[in-house]
A = this chain, B = another copy of it.
């Protein structure tokens, strides 16, 4: 269907010379179903898509509904001014804008002035962040992606044009109390310091469809190995092989799950700058060490940053392929030269990946300005420092993933910088910031921007904080404790040690669900962690509460008029509403439809604001009517590729339930060759009050890790 439509549109574009559009130098072309490319001027040779090498999942895109171009094309303006490309998209009254990267404090972006710029998050949402993805989605049901490796100035409904068609009325501040310092703006205005620009519009019809299209256009989300969704811990930087083995044993002994262990800089002979080789003192026999760990079901993740020490074995070889400036006195590989890539990743492949190391934590590719090459730096490839900064995290993800792909093994790692186009890479972003509330906001924003984020657990001041943080990290893309500096173990707070264990084991029990949800990220573009605005039946939300609104008299208005950034969707059916240290009670906004308690199955409400006081041991999690959640038995390590696991399929509420359960070998890229299955699960309530559940049979010749299946009726 779409392909015919696309052809017709192309014809239309060819035979209908739309003067207005051409006068602005804008050409539109539907490059994939519902994905429109716009070109202004002469775009640069290097951009975000070139950096990531992303290729569209055309067949998945073709399954999405066909929708007309969502904006009047003549309302989109572009112009080359002052050697830069100007681009304007219209905004309607009440339209909300989400996305624009890994923001930490706000979800609604309308009204913002941002410079999208790879950096650490410096305490203010100003565009400088670990993943300043130039993609936004509108509540009107379309998305926009700016495909440039330049810094991008964005005025997201903040600037007011003299020629605005919906002008604000000037007011006299002397006498008019309704005067506002932020007059109404009806456009997103964008400036990029390049004499041309490629950009894309993704159609809906709903915002979530635009996001799915964006993700699929970039190849879909990553499908982590199964073990990546288990539990992970990082150990002290100067740990020896024996220390690590001891710590792993303690997890086992204490009954806490553990799938991979992260080694911090001390695994290298020198760090900051790095040698990229094992320290012979601390790791005299890395091969045996890695194998011993693997035999225990525990994989090894290695920290590194990309800055090469003069003592690295390949220093002299890589030197000609490094930038003009050093970082911590280490040279910076120019990853746009094949030589630098071959040398750097050749070393890592040979020295580490070939031994069975499972992945990397790629540090300090974000900034801040003092800890990175300056914008004046030059690189042998001729790429500018700015473009290199915007994409270095992307390049590191891309080429490090290739090492594993060569062995037909998936990886799942950590990275501190990413950008648009890197959607498909199996990396989770983290940083040094540590505000729990803001971590959740970042988790929500990750779903609008095609990236993954972990609200990792580090040192905590109290058992309460430790447990509250643990409760959220298990409902995130990576269940990680990164408390090596303080040496906090999961059991370090005896008051909550059992509860922490319970949460960690819950993570493991939910593995069939998480894995299936990530498969949907990959195959359908549906982000596994999402903001509430994307949920059917949830208001997009008027954002700002006026200072003088009397919240006591109007609690409902309060509930819907503030920015909702303390609850989110985890996978298809779960609504997670965390509490933070110091909180004992909170409000939860339930979208329309019946909702149930995830743990008990009890009905909790329908399209309303509820107040809950769950106690310290519980994180409020709710499921939709008809939800089907596949669970397995709690275990300490994820099952192996050929192991079979029994499932308990939980069913909530009254509506007929439906779920697509994903299965494959969990470790290789064979799923790309079709070696996977989605098995349909159906559950229906019976007249007698009981339920009837069915799961489609395993497909012959496909990996099958599912053993006995039982169904559990959660809502009685």
Contacts and interface: CB of A to CB of B under 8 A. Distances in A.
A460 interface: no
Given A162-B322, A172-B269, A174-B279, 15 more contacts: A82-B385, A153-B376, A159-B374, A160-B326, A162-B326, A162-B331, A163-B324, A170-B273, A170-B311, A173-B328, A182-B370, A183-B326, A183-B329, A189-B376, A191-B374
B266 A174 contact: yes
Interface string A236-255: 01100000000000000000
Contacts of A272: 171-174, 179
18 contacts: A86-B376, A158-B374, A160-B325, A162-B322, A162-B325, A162-B331, A168-B329, A169-B329, A170-B328, A170-B329, A171-B272, A171-B329, A172-B272, A174-B268, A174-B279, A179-B272, A191-B376, A193-B193
Question: How many copies of the chain does the oligomer comprise?
Answer: 2
Contact of A82 (B173, B329, B384): B384
Contacts of A369: 113, 158
Contacts of A370: 113, 158, 181-182
For the residues of A in contact with B, the DSSP-based class is loop
Contact of A81 (B173, B237, B378): B378
A296 interface: no
Given A173-B271, A174-B238, A271-B174, A183 B328 contact: yes
Contacts of A174: 237-238, 265-266, 268, 270-272, 279
A209 interface: no
Interface in A134-166: 153, 155, 158-163
Interface residues of A, number: 67
Query: Which 8 residue pairs across A and B have the least CB separation, nearest first?
Result: A173-B272, A170-B329, A82-B384, A159-B374, A172-B270, A113-B369, A155-B374, A189-B376
Interface of A: 81-83, 86, 88, 113, 153, 155, 158-163, 167-175, 179, 181-183, 189-191, 193, 237-238, 265-266, 268-273, 279, 309-311, 322-331, 369-371, 373-378, 384-386
B375 A153 contact: yes
A270 B176 CA distance: 10
Nearest to A190: B376
A614 B324 CA distance: 54
A182 B155 CA distance: 34
Nearest to A383: B82
Given A174-B270, A374-B113, A376-B191, A82 B158 contact: no
A179 B83 CA distance: 43
